[in-house]
Structure 1
């Protein structure tokens, strides 16, 4: 009996110890730590010619990851090379993580000459004299004329841009700025200027042309015929066609729940 009692006491003590251990929290000793500080992140910009517009951006600091925003798009790598279309001082941004925190850091590059040719889309949009710019107007109107230059299209289907669910401008109801114009230029920046009519005051904004994604983004002002609910509040338009003589834009899903198509020509 004595041995049994001792054995029972020992087992009870063992169970109690195990239970106590199981109740103790497991301490997580893994912590994120910074590899460096923002000042230690080195950004390098190299131009293939002095003051030229072929640029390579490189984030050289080991242990840092992130992406470049080079104003024409984003590159999810530490190195990117591109041809920049805008003369003047350009600011490029690297956004990433030091390990335990996020950061953004910029570098400036002076572009004095466009000595490398741009993608043809840029010349089609702003003209060969990029600083002077190019003016675009509706390819029709300004009164209803039966043409297809501003109309409702199927939503979420750029391939069906020619299908008119409602030929608004051609049949009865052109936009209020049907006689207006838009100017795109690269005079020190990607400049966009909107005129609601022949004698209207200018409204200045900016634009981003993504050759890769075939989108045109306008900020600070509307494009022609962007009156609600037809336009896109974000200012992003899908490029259906962009040539020297034609620009066709499409929104896949506007505020009215439909697609919409714009057809422009140079003034």
Structure 2
């Protein structure tokens, strides 16, 4: 008996459907669920002494993952040890996931004494008297032919492309200053030398050797000179000298700053 074309095609279609169904993988879909709520996240801070500045920040709730923001940087872990340089009450933040949603939770810590020494970079930047702080100025004046504010090779902070400060074109705030202190916070004070003073903040990233300025410009402000994010590589930092550099300034070149403590 011959099978007509319609039946042939119907049979073929049925076989294909069966084959596809048999080969289709079985997916066990599960929705993400929270393992707890924000109130259930337990943050703990240990201190080396009463009011001491050696801290252990810990999130110890099972099933929760994330990282710490300790103001001077971040730690991609649930537990981190920090030598904190700022006396007073500070707020630390844990950012993580409960399973199905992200969250932030904070904890406050009071530091009364800096009984654990800081890294030397802190003392070089703000002095041994961290609350009083330290003021930095340009290492030169307009027309002195010195290298203290100049366009540089993006790959070499000492590769001079145009010595603007030491020749024809010093910045308008060449007589200004930059002051850093740890009086209750990481404070940065920008003085343009023309009667304009701005109170701001900073982050000293000792691990990556970067200085972040938040809320005020670096000396030598110019939209085509400064780093648009306020982040500067630390080329040199000693008690007597600070060299900052950006390979990516607003003008598409590098730029270098050479500063010394104010007398």
The answer to whether TM tops 0.5 is: yes
Aligned residues: 258
TM-score (norm 1): 0.90
- For residue 19 of structure 1, give the secondary structure of its aligned residue in structure 2: helix
Equivalent residue for 1:252, pick from 227, 247, 251: 247
Residue of 228, 231, 251 corresponding to 1:233: 228
Q: Is there any run of 5+ residues in structure 2 with no aligned partner, and where?
A: none
Cα shift at 1:22: 4.6
Find the residue that maps to 1:257 and give its secondary structure.
coil
CA distance in 2, matches of 1:128, 1:40: 41
Separation in 2 of the partners of 1:21 and 1:32? Answer: 32
Counterpart in the other structure of 1:149:
148
Structure 1 stretches of 4+ moved >4 Å: 11-15, 20-28
Aligned to 2:259: 264
CA deviation vs aligned residue, 1:166-225 (integer Å, no higher than 9, x gap)? 00011110000000011100000000001101x513211000000000000001111101
1:181-200 map, 5 Å? 181-197=177-193, 200=195
Q: Is the 8 A contact 2:139 2:148 kept in 1?
A: yes
Q: Structure 2 length normalisation: TM-score?
A: 0.91
Alignment RMSD: 2.3
Determine whether 1:76 maps to 2:76: yes
CA distance in 2, matches of 1:242, 1:132: 19
* 1:180 alignment partner, one of 163, 176, 188: 176
- Residue 21 to residue 94, structure 1, CA distance change in 2 (3 Å): farther
Name the SS for the 1:163 alignment partner.
strand
Measured against aligned partners, the alpha-carbon deviations of 1:102-157 in whole angstroms (never above 9, x if no partner) come to 1111111010111111001000000111000101000000x2110000001001x2
Instruction: Check conservation: 2:173, 2:221, Cα contact below 8 A.
Output: no
- C-alpha displacement of 1:226: 2.4
